[in-house]
Amino acid sequence: MLTNEEFENILNTQKFFINSNIKSCKIGENISYDLISNNDNKKFKLDVDRKTRSISLNKIKIQNRFDSIPLVRIDIDSPPHMNPDGVIIPRNHIHIYKEGYGLKWAFNLDEFHNIYFKNINIFNNLFIDFCNFCNIDVSKLNNFQGVI
């Protein structure tokens, strides 16, 4: 369990893909990418889940983890989420770590639109925006446009 301050420090840590030749995550797949920080060599994961368990082909889940601790997760075209206070959050939402709750709280992605996430309907844009939000450097990825 992290404190909110520890979470903020970890989220703000610059992270890099260990392998600059990442494999495409196509519809129907899920992939975990290994990340590392440059200042203290902490290890992170970026999980991308595009498996369709429903009729929707647009369902996407992207998550950044530190060890086994989920830090941030974005859910696109998923079922609505109920926060611990009983408030229902719509299908497109983002979970951000909160001390004592982990990722149990979600926020309507519309609140983040045009600030952090420009176009959630194009996977490549969503992937880049999520990486930027989590301070994951995508500048050194080889053939990035062809990967996603």
DSSP-assigned letters across all residues of 68-99: TEEEEEEEESPPPEE-TTS-EE-SSEEEE-BT
Write the CA distances from 140 to 15, 104, 137, 144, integer angstroms. 12, 33, 7, 9
pLDDT at 81 over 90: yes
> What pLDDT is stored for residue 25 in this prediction?
73
- Residue that is written with structure tokens 């989920």 in the block: 70
Position 147 confidence tier, pLDDT thresholds 50, 70, 90: very low
pLDDT at 138 over 60: yes
The answer on pLDDT for 53 being more than 50 is: yes
Mean pLDDT over the full length of the chain: 88
Give pLDDT, residue 58.
Answer: 78
- Out of 28-37, 57-66, 86-95, give the one with best mean pLDDT: 86-95
